[in-house]
Structure 1
Amino acid sequence: MSGTRARHSGLVAVSGRGGLVGWHLRALLHALGRPFQDVDLRSSLPTHVGLAATAEAIHVSGITRGPDAALREGNVDLAQRFVRTLDDAGARPLRVVHANSVQASQPTPYGEGKAGAAQILAEAAQRWGAEFVDVIIENVFGEHGAPEHNTVTSTFCHRLARGLEMPVGSDAERVFVHAQDVAEALAGVIDARELEARGTRLSIPALADRLTNLASIYDTGEIPELLTAFDRDLLNTYRSFAFDVRPEMPLRSSRDLRGAFTELVRVHGGTGQTGISTTIPGITRGNHFHRRKLERFVVISGRARIVTRRVLSEERRVFDVSGDDPVAIDMPTLWSHSITNIGHEPLITAFWTDDLFDPTRPDTYQDIA
């Protein structure tokens, strides 16, 4: 992969919208305000309407499971279809990017398929006079990966969140990299050296232990110690699975004749920032999402409706909460969220985030929940 960080203005054509990397890439482009268009290669009649304005073409679509022929010829065919779709549209991108695999150097059906796809894209880039960037991806993990399919991390998180047995069938070491880091490399935000630096090498049993420790603390309503960006990314990945089964967290309250004391958040060895807001009846706050930030909402007085929506989808979760019975709701990363005062009195809400707010890097992207 080239060391350039240059980005071209104009449309980004993206294949592979249904996969883990494809969704994370599209969410990043959406956050950055860069226009993109999905290229559906699984359809018998892929559309090329509007693709003539393509400035960057990023090929993510791939086949990771199936018969040998599907892995070998199928991945080559997807790359050919991507190139043909752009050619039919009259597109001449300036940058062509391939989401490749570390297995492309291996003599396996999948490795040969990915290597063949890289060659197809490289030849097209040369013909178009475009820069070709081959992004080598190892064990990518992230929010909303498919258990038993994308990566062992998704499988572990899915099982942990549901209290299921988590079998560890290998003691092999692997390099793990978060899907938002991969997305940044594909979009040209970071280069190959930075992507490699963000990877974390550890064994499968060590991964299982790390996730188990993070989950055991988080499931009590507390925030575990996040010593590294990898820990944060692992916890955010786990939270995406836990949110499906336990979106509301009961809070510890001590009551006596004077009233009650409720603990909002307990953080193990980390930084953070806590604030409160007042909101008049009928007013909505938020309508934004975060890529990395952990954020907790606790209504302490009044009645509120919290709405969360998975970015680039219509998948929503709605929670009506009250200060009479406070609960904690942690906002999943890459989900837009809002809070509306649905009562008749001022709403008082406490917010906690795991980082100290930096106005130059707010990690806040406007998007309607």
Structure 2
Amino acid sequence: MKILITGSRGFIAKNLIVTLQQMENIDILTYDRNDDIEQLDIYTEVCDFVFHLAGVNRPQEVQEFMQGNYELTSGLLSSLKKNENRCPVLFASSTQALLDNKYGESKKAGENLLFEYSKETGAKVLIYRFPNVFGKWCRQNYNSVVATFCHNIAHGLPITVNDPSVMMNLVYIDDVLEELINALDGNENMINDFCEVPAVHTITLGEIVDLIYSFKNSREERSLPNMSNDFTKKLYSTYLSYLPEDQFSYDLKMNVDERGSFTEFIKTPDKGQVSVNISKPGITKGNHWHHTKNEKFLVVSGKGVIRFRRIGSNDVIEYYVNDSKLEVVDIPVGYIHNIENLGNKDMVTIMWANECFDPDKSDTFFLEV
């Protein structure tokens, strides 16, 4: 199947191309504004589907709106008619087409061209009025406030928010891609005359800014955003794609003493805390119990023993652990417990607790196993 993509260097197109490259029996034909217009005639003679994603939204001159959003569309459709190719055409329009501005007018004019073309030729036309699209590879300081804010905050640059109460409708690039592939397969989400991406997120500009700053602060706080919120999860992935390439890593605070070290890795408000415990050979750590706090231990390097004694009992239970067989040991409440390094090298244990450590309410009571 030969698929023509116009605007092939743009944000949506870049993501679409790498997605299509993972599919079988797809031949991708790309056209960009810098390409020779005659190349378009070659492609429209053989293509089986057109993703018309080319467009202009930040021109130097006002007349470029019509040149990029109307005249290119007109040229594409004329080329298809000349080659008697009635393959489906998907057009990336904008919700701005409903507004009274030069960009919206040019998109609306492109839509009208496509509707007329469909009536004349019988070709299938799919018009998507996209709201704000966000995700990886979107150019900052261009036409996406999310891209600009993610880039600037990740790079420690200032941002300007004129009205944090502005309500925004956004769609995530992966949701856009899913819908575009559905359309390619003939399963587009058609609502009356237009197509839509089903998953639209509505949120204020101020809330977006607060979220992005919280992502930046999460490194120092050793925290994770609320991944159960669909928009937060998508925005966090987007933010990470704008990290400076020399700042992918960050330090953790290691609490070191003669016994080894204890380092908090990740804290979440609802799913607890993950830490890394390193014990020197012969060292025993723990000897405490909890009322409600429960834990999971996973030894990933070295060997040792985890001992338990139920409150009120003298019986000691032992679980021997080592890195040749990764197994998780639950630490139930009401059991005094410790962990001893039985090897001749440092023992590394991943420890999860169901709640983050609170020094004012530690729920930790020291007692020998």
Name the TM-score class by shorter chain.
Answer: 0.5 to 0.7
Letter matched to residue 10 of structure 2 = G
Q: CA RMSD in A?
A: 3.2
The TM-score with structure 2 as length reference comes to: 0.63
Letter matched to residue 189 of structure 2 = D
Q: Say if 1:130 and 1:20 are closer, same or farther in 2 by CA, change over 3 A.
A: same
Larger Rg: 2
Q: How does 1:11-50 map to 2 (within 5 A)?
A: 11-33=2-24, 34-48=26-40, 49=42
Identity value in percent: 22
The TM-score with structure 1 as length reference comes to: 0.63
Query: In the TM superposition, what whole-angstrom CA distance separates every residue of 1:18-68 from its partner, at most 9, and x where no partner exists?
Result: 221222222332344443221223324451445533221111110001232
Query: In the TM superposition, what whole-angstrom CA distance separates every residue of 1:186-224 from its partner, at most 9, and x where no partner exists?
Result: 332652569554111122122211222233215655422
Alignment partner, residue 346 of structure 1 = none
Letter matched to residue 40 of structure 1 = D
Structure 1 counterpart SS, 2:250: strand
Further displaced range: 41-50 or 11-20: 41-50
Q: Say if 1:50 and 1:232 are closer, same or farther in 2 by CA, change over 3 A.
A: same
Unpaired segments ≥5 residues, structure 2: 275-299, 302-349, 351-369
Alignment partner, residue 72 of structure 1 = 66
Structure 2 counterpart SS, 1:75: helix
Alignment partner, residue 157 of structure 1 = 150
Of the candidates 141, 146, 150, which is equivalent to residue 134 of structure 2? 141
Query: In the TM superposition, what whole-angstrom CA distance separates every residue of 1:139-194 from its partner, at most 9, and x where no partner exists?
Result: 11111211121211111101110112222112321211112222333332652569
Q: How does 1:1-369 map to 2 (within 5 A)?
A: 10-33=1-24, 34-48=26-40, 49=42, 51-66=44-59, 67-87=61-81, 90=83, 92-170=85-163, 171-187=165-181, 188=183, 191-192=189-190, 195=196, 197-218=198-219, 222-261=223-262, 265-269=266-270
For 1:261 and 1:128, how far apart are their aligned partners in 2? 70
CA contact (8 A) 2:70 2:110 kept: yes
For 1:91 and 1:257, how far apart are their aligned partners in 2? 80
For 1:221 and 1:81, how far apart are their aligned partners in 2? 54
Unpaired segments ≥5 residues, structure 1: 1-9, 274-299, 302-349, 351-369
CA contact (8 A) 2:5 2:52 kept: yes
CA contact (8 A) 1:95 1:125 kept: no
For 1:87 and 1:245, how far apart are their aligned partners in 2? 50
Q: Say if 1:84 and 1:42 are closer, same or farther in 2 by CA, change over 3 A.
A: farther
Structure 2 counterpart SS, 1:68: coil
Q: Say if 1:214 and 1:190 are closer, same or farther in 2 by CA, change over 3 A.
A: farther
CA contact (8 A) 2:212 2:236 kept: yes
Alignment partner, residue 291 of structure 1 = none
For 1:219 and 1:62, how far apart are their aligned partners in 2? 41
